[in-house]
Amino acid sequence: MENCQGWAARDPSGVLSPYKFNRREPRNDDVSIKISHAGVCYGDVHWTRNSFGDCKYPLVPGHEIVGVVTEVGCDVARFKVGDHVGVGVYVDSCRDCEYCDVRREIYCQKGLVTTFNSLDKDGTITKGGYSSHIVVHERYCHKIPDGYPMEKAAPMLCAGLTVYTPMIKHNMNQPGKSLGVIGLGGLGHMAVKFGKAFGLKVTVISTSESKREEAISLLGADKFILSKDSDQMSSAVKSLDFIIDTASGDHQFDPYLSLLKVDGLMVLVGFPSEIKISPIQLNFGSRCIAGSATGGTKDTEEMIDFCAKNKIYPDVEIIKIDYINEALDRLTKNDVRYRFVIDIEKSFS
């Protein structure tokens, strides 16, 4: 019955090792996918190490998944064998609440089923993309356009979508407007790429001076601010229309909010342990702060098409699955430019 190869964590040490398990046979509305690549998200660190106290071991992580369709159910209309497809953060939802109705399934009111470590409708625990294949309802699969590199497509299913969705929702795509990006990791570097594609003037804000050269020369940012330098921060007060905050570590918010113009907006996509702000920064500047969590199937498809049309690709480091423990350790030290991607096909060949 063990028809799938994978790597799993068995306890909160987070150490992964080979693991075999069973995937369900495709149902009438399912798509079976031979996985070719899987992106490595910081969420994989959190859940393998039980950071939120809800891990169900053995845990197979991975929610940035791309591969090739090998089988479709008899009712599947959108895909055929041989198609290149992707699967993101979730693999099911109620499909009838007000948010599912408008394809914002990430906010499903009746129970989102995430790609791994989640109770599926059949009573099993979902297992993610660090594995040889996956079976998913067709609604939660996304076509990868012909010619788009598979290894580049994987990180778009979480990192790319997480910044694209709020940028579109909050109209951060107006040419000539100014965008600040806090943090230059997997999410931050995609925010810079989207900002430039939208015609924005992009400023990277980082605690590390070493990021200056790569922000401007490699990613094409217009400006760089070292957040630890009070003079650089003071010179940028009220200069930005928007800020995308991708930093998950605890940090102060007031200094960054001061960089927003009147009516400016900051969107938080990271997960610091708490948010402390002075009402003065909001009220006297008519500023707003909002949160966002990835996106729905509609956002996902629009983002993929936008990236293919505009040749937007994440910067990745390709690894094999037997390097995953070292990769996760490096990720905790921000030692990756900018997303690890596992070559699943070569890992399990």
Chain segment 291-328, per-residue pLDDT in tens:
999 999 999 999 999 999 999 999 999 999 999 999 99
Write the pLDDT tens digit of every residue in 252-283.
999 999 999 999 999 999 988 899 999 999 99
Split at pLDDT 50, 70, 90, the class of 225 is very high
Write the pLDDT tens digit of every residue in 78-110.
999 999 999 999 999 999 999 999 999 999 999
Signed CA dihedral, 244, 129, 50, 332: sign only: negative
The pLDDT of residue 335 is: 93
Exposure string (b/e) for 146-171, b if CB count within 10 Å is 16 or more? eebebbbbbbbbbbbbbbbbbbbebe
Mean pLDDT score of the chain, rounded to an integer? 96
Write the pLDDT tens digit of every residue in 180-222.
999 999 999 999 999 999 999 999 999 999 999 999 999 999 9
CA distances from 123 to 54, 117, 118, 194 (A): 16, 12, 10, 39
Q: Distance between CA 64 and CA 90 in Å, rounded?
A: 10
Write the pLDDT tens digit of every residue in 142-186.
999 999 999 999 999 999 999 999 999 999 999 999 999 999 999
Q: Distance between CA 11 and CA 55 in Å, rounded?
A: 9
Q: Distance between CA 179 and CA 62 in Å, rounded?
A: 30
Split at pLDDT 50, 70, 90, the class of 111 is confident
Side-chain half-sphere CA neighbours of 189 within 13 A: 22
Residue 14 clears pLDDT 90, i.e. is over it = yes
The pLDDT of residue 248 is: 85
Q: In which residue are the tokens 């949160």 written?
A: 291
Nearest to 19 by CA among 29, 36, 4: 4
134, 69 contact by CB (below 8 A): no
Write the pLDDT tens digit of every residue in 46-61.
999 999 999 999 999 9
The pLDDT of residue 12 is: 97
The pLDDT of residue 199 is: 98
What pairs with residue 85 in β-bridges? 67, 143
The pLDDT of residue 288 is: 96
